[in-house]
Structure formats: structure tokens, C-alpha cells
Structure 1
């Protein structure tokens, strides 16, 4: 609750029609919160300091660890899968990498997505947004960029990809009249998103982590798209934290934390809309940032240790070859492979690709997963198992071990 103990007004209700029913839609007031203004208490200030320290540990770890690029990709995929799960799309990391082993050139699809395709679409949307930012340094993060990412996120035939929704929607319940809340009507979206964009592009004096929490909540209340709002909102927060120099790499994802605490996530959001309890939401959000940062460090540590140990074992194996080492170097990015995908990955012939795979199988790095004699699929099983464990639980942080990996 606000520091004064009073209820804060965070929006107003507007009568609208949704699915043929006359309902009251919630239209949020612009950021930052007022009436009364945001007043961080001692507990919230402590949460903020803890989140800052966790992000500093994360930055130190990224400076210590070798081969950060593949770690970025692996952990970004973990967050894409968790973000999709939080939005009700169930898939596994093994399925996600399995699709990539057979298709290295994804394209937008018409029609419905499978859960695996949906998670991959989110990862591709994340890459597209970051490439757009990298191509024009200094360009502000904008609603147009989010629309571009949304266009990649949802299939062509679904949900007006890349466009603000044109229909009313509701959250929870079987119909609008028994919904948890009804977001703003479509004719309000352009103005609301313009105000929100103006806020995140402004020089608000609040700490960037506080601002990020406010933006995520506001975006989730506006729900500007017909589908994919949660995933695009969480992507927006990551992009902002990078732009505001709080993240050295885009791999501190909040999705796993929110997924594990789904009920509290929704409870805190509803408390903002109903009671104006921005402070309670921010306390939860900052706890998520600190937890996610420490888990990212732990995951990076365990993955880097695993890869370093496997590399040492392959180097000690009889008959080790340059092609086998090149394949090993590529496995963290592509932990499920076929002979054809290895040919493309290391740029070699079919016989050489086959021999490289055989050596890594003999070294117990790769495992054949189909039991077939043709069209075989090989899996970096220990790597994927580590990803799945960390995706669910996170890992402890040990900075001494991190330094050992880099030596």
C-alpha cells in the first residue's frame, strides 16, 4: 500500500462492449504514480540495493567467464521457454533445440503454432529486436520496435501480428462479465502506448529498476496486442535494462521467477489496479530481478564448467581431430544435431561430419537418441539436462569456481 496507508487511484473505469456484453474497462493513469506519489519505504529500498548487488555480481561473472556468446544464447532460450510457459504455452528446451536441428532458417508461419514453435518464435522475436537496436545505435526503444517484434512472435494468420488490437479483451473468467479485469478499449490504445513510450524514453529521476517495474505493470494492464502481451512486456523490460546499462548481456530473464510464483505475480498486479499498491508490486519485481540475476550467474557457472570438462575429456581422447573440436565448440549453441546439421555447422563433408560425431559419441559427449540406423539424431544430453535443471531451480553462485573456469 502507499506509505500513507491510503488507497491510491491508478486508473478509471470506462463503459465499453466486449464479446457482446456491456462491461467496465480499466484505463490506467499515466506513469509515474501520483495521488499520492510513489514513496519507497525502507524495505523497498533494501530490495532495490539487493537487486543492484545481484546485477553487479552478474556483470562480474560475465567478465570472468569465457565464451559469453554461447552462454547468452543458451540462457536466452531458457527464458524464452519460461516466458512462453508463463503465457500458457508449454514446451521443453529439448523440443526447442530439436526443431533447430532440422530447420536453421525459420520463417513466419501461417496458422497456429505448436508450443515448440511458439517458444522459438519468442526467441526469434528477441533476436530481431536486438538486431534492430544494434543496427541503429542510439535509436530509442519504441512502440514501433515492439510491434516489429510482435510480428515475429505470432503467426501470420493469428492475432493481427505487429498491430495494436482492434477488439476488446478480458483477463480471467469465462466471459467479460466475470473477468478479473477488462483492459482498456481499443480506441484508447494508441494514446496509452504513446504515453507509456514517452515515460520510458523520459529522464524520470526514479531508479531505472523502479522504472522498469512500473513499465512492465503498465504494459501488462494496457495489453495492447490481441496475443503475446506478457511475452512482449517481459522482452521490453529486458531491452530497457540493457539500454539503461543495468545488464551487460540480455540473459537476466524474469520469466522463470514469475513462472514459479505465478499466483503471487497475478495477486500483486491485481493489487495495483484495485488498491494502488505499486510499492507491493515493486517489492515483488525487485525480488525477481535479484533472484533472476543470481540464477543466471549460477546457470552460467554450471554450464561453463560442464563444457570445460567435456573439452578436456575430448582433448585426451585417442584420435581427436580438428573437426571434432570444432563440433564440440558448436554444441552449446546447437546441442541437438544431425549429420546434415553438423555439415553446415562446421562447413565440412558428410564423411568428416560423421567421424566428428563418432568421436564425440565415443568420448561420451554426444548420445544417439533415435535408435535408428538412418536419419539419426545426436544429443548433447548432459548440457540439455543442466539447462532443464537450471530452468526449473536455478543454481548457486560460486565466484571462485567462475574464476577457475577462465584460467
Structure 2
């Protein structure tokens, strides 16, 4: 049992235990499958001739799913429509979800330049919230059962206490103690969520930190693994197992749950990448016979970097005039390869096969 009471700030929250306690036989067995699947995903991502196809789309799917966990609901179609728009006109949920995607990019850049730090977490949460975010100072933060309103967890309080806990978190994620990086990520995610350092945005920030830990550890070369879809499908287990670590110290169940998510998500994303490559090859073959621009490599790249393409983007990327860009896209639309739609005053061209694959791909 841990020294914990639901209605009292958990200022005694300890850092995670060491590898000898966390890496049980069951955990190590689960780690093998997760590491193998993650390596396959990393290799699949590195095999893509144009990595922007993944970097521009998969994080947006993660943004939508991660926001949905926090009851911020928008459609994937609406998100893709607003990407690269000169003036985002979507509702508040769409704008907030797009900020999550930006936070992924900002966090990746921070880790590349300065490593994964408390400052990175603050920067990520600031982008998510759309305003400067600092460590919370006001007391009274509580997590309650949504049905009964019974308090189930009270995170630590006091800015100095929270900064000390975050320093422990940062020390733990960079410890040179031989712990498997996937086990460390799972334990660090619990630790960050239990600290709950910000007034809002902790869950979304923590889920971005997960993938950044894997990039920093060298297990991924690109931030392609996002667990939010898995967490949505197992939402009750997610919150139950988080609390079980606090109340009972049940680390093994929590870590194997996360490792299962890593394995399943890695395998599903690898299948997604293979399906995208197959579609690209088929699309290119059909485009050659449908449009005078069908052999232009940059045009084909644009059509698979986002499902919604804009004439101005094709002009810029391909170095052609507006009439030429319009003619190329119109030819493909008349051949049924893309769909011509109007959104307000703007004319968009939708790669419907790609959009369908992204939203209803080979997920479990």
C-alpha cells in the first residue's frame, strides 16, 4: 500500500522505483513484443521516400484522438480541411485540436535542440492551451468520479513541491540505470500524470511526451507512435490502472498495459504505412494517364502530404502558374482520382482514397 488519501494532496508522491522492481518477468516478456513491433514501425517509417506523408498526417490523427480523450471532439475531415488554410474557420474544438498538432512539432524541435526537459513540457502545454502556461499554484485541484463526484485523487500542491516533483521526473527519464526505454516511458507517464503540474492540458501534454521519449532514446527516428487511439478504446482501463499504481503500487499491470498498447499501435501503424505506399503506387500509375501533370513528382507528393490540396500549394511546390496547377488538378478530378469541392470561396481537391485510408485504415 502507498501513503495516500484520496482527498489529501499527494505531496509525498514518490518517484518510480528502479528496474529491479519494475522489470518483472511478465514485464520483460511483454517488452520483447513491443520492442520488435516498434522496430518494424521505425523501419517502415524510414523506408518512406517522402517522410512528409507521415509527418503531416499521422500526428493530425493523433491530435484528433488525444483531444477526444479530453472530450474535445472534432472530425478528422474537418481537421484536414483546415490544415494550411490561410484563415482557420473551424469551431473551437477544431482550433484546439490543431494546436495539439503544432505542440507535437514544437516539442519535437525542443527535444532535438535541448533534450526532453520540464521546459519542453511547459512549452508543449502552452501551445496546446493557446496562452502562456506555468506550473499551477492555486490549491484545490481534484480528480472526481464523473458520475458520483466522489474525489478519487488529489495531486500534489504548491509550486515549489510541483517543481521538485518535476525535477524528479526529469531525473528519472534520463537516468543511466539500464532500464528498458519502453518501461521507463510507461513509468514516467504515470509519474507525470500523477504530478498533474498544469491547471489544464496535462493528459495531452503527457501523451506528446511519450513519443518524444522514444525519439530521444533512439527507438524511433520520427515521432510516429501515438497511443491515443488505443487509450480511447481502453479508456476505463487507462484511468483504473493509473489509480491502481497510486493506491496499490500495482506497477506491473500498468506497465504491461502500456507495452500492449505500444505493440498493437506499432503493428497497426506499420500496416497503415504499407497501405499508403501501395495506394501511392496505384495512384501514380493512374495519374500518368489522366493528367498532363500526372508525372510531376512534386504534384504527387502534394496530393499525399495532406488529403486536401489547394491550388496555391501546387503552384508553390511545383513552380507552375495558377492556370497550369488548376488544369492538372481538374484533370485528375475529372478522372475520378480526386474530388473537387468548394469550402466557402476556396476550391479544394480531396484525395478521397487517401482520406478514407487515414480515417478507416488497417487498425485493430
User: For residue 270 of structure 2, what is the aligned residue in structure 1?
Assistant: 297
User: For residue 49 of structure 2, what is the aligned residue in structure 1?
Assistant: 66
Contact in 2 for aligned 1:335/1:380 (Cα 8 Å): yes
- Pairing of 1:132-281 with structure 2 (within 5 A): 132-134=110-112, 136=113, 139-156=114-131, 161-167=132-138, 168-173=140-145, 178-187=150-159, 188-281=161-254
User: For residue 343 of structure 1, what is the aligned residue in structure 2?
Assistant: 315
Q: Secondary structure at the match of 1:127?
A: helix
Tell me which moved more, 38-47 or 207-216.
Answer: 38-47
Task: Identify unmatched segments of 5+ residues in structure 2.
Answer: none
Distance 1:174 1:260 in 2: 18
Closer, same or farther in 2 for the Cα pair 1:307/1:58, shift >3 Å?
same
- C-alpha deviation, 1:30, in angstroms: 3.1
- C-alpha deviation, 1:345, in angstroms: 4.5
Contact in 2 for aligned 1:28/1:222 (Cα 8 Å): no
Contact in 1 for aligned 2:294/2:300 (Cα 8 Å): no
Distance 1:116 1:176 in 2: 30
Distance 1:24 1:113 in 2: 38
User: For residue 389 of structure 1, what is the aligned residue in structure 2?
Assistant: 360
TM-score normalised per structure 2: 0.90
Tell me which moved more, 53-62 or 221-230.
Answer: 53-62
- C-alpha deviation, 1:175, in angstroms: 11
- C-alpha deviation, 1:162, in angstroms: 2.8
Closer, same or farther in 2 for the Cα pair 1:175/1:389, shift >3 Å?
closer
Closer, same or farther in 2 for the Cα pair 1:84/1:360, shift >3 Å?
same
Q: Secondary structure at the match of 1:233?
A: helix
- Pairing of 1:81-92 with structure 2 (within 5 A): 81-92=64-75
User: For residue 398 of structure 1, what is the aligned residue in structure 2?
Assistant: none
Please give the per-residue CA displacement for 1:193-221, whole angstroms capped at 9, x wherever unaligned: 11111111221322111111000011111
Q: Secondary structure at the match of 2:74?
A: coil
Closer, same or farther in 2 for the Cα pair 1:166/1:358, shift >3 Å?
same
Corresponding residue pairs, total: 362
Distance 1:273 1:394 in 2: 32
User: For residue 315 of structure 1, what is the aligned residue in structure 2?
Assistant: 288
Q: Secondary structure at the match of 1:368?
A: strand
- C-alpha deviation, 1:347, in angstroms: 4.1
Structure 1 segments (4+ residues) deviating >4 Å: 174-177, 322-325
Closer, same or farther in 2 for the Cα pair 1:148/1:233, shift >3 Å?
same
- C-alpha deviation, 1:123, in angstroms: 0.8
- C-alpha deviation, 1:37, in angstroms: 6.1
Contact in 2 for aligned 1:324/1:357 (Cα 8 Å): no
Task: Identify unmatched segments of 5+ residues in structure 1.
Answer: 1-6, 15-22, 107-111, 396-407
Tell me which moved more, 174-183 or 80-89.
Answer: 174-183
Distance 1:379 1:54 in 2: 32
Contact in 2 for aligned 1:252/1:293 (Cα 8 Å): yes
User: For residue 348 of structure 2, what is the aligned residue in structure 1?
Assistant: 377
For the aligned residue pairs, the C-alpha RMSD in angstroms reads: 2.7
Distance 1:214 1:28 in 2: 17
Closer, same or farther in 2 for the Cα pair 1:186/1:103, shift >3 Å?
farther
- C-alpha deviation, 1:113, in angstroms: 7.0
Distance 2:247 2:23 in 1: 19
Tell me which moved more, 359-368 or 209-218.
Answer: 359-368
Contact in 2 for aligned 1:176/1:182 (Cα 8 Å): no
Distance 1:28 1:331 in 2: 53
User: For residue 100 of structure 1, what is the aligned residue in structure 2?
Assistant: 83
Q: Secondary structure at the match of 1:102?
A: coil
Contact in 2 for aligned 1:101/1:337 (Cα 8 Å): no
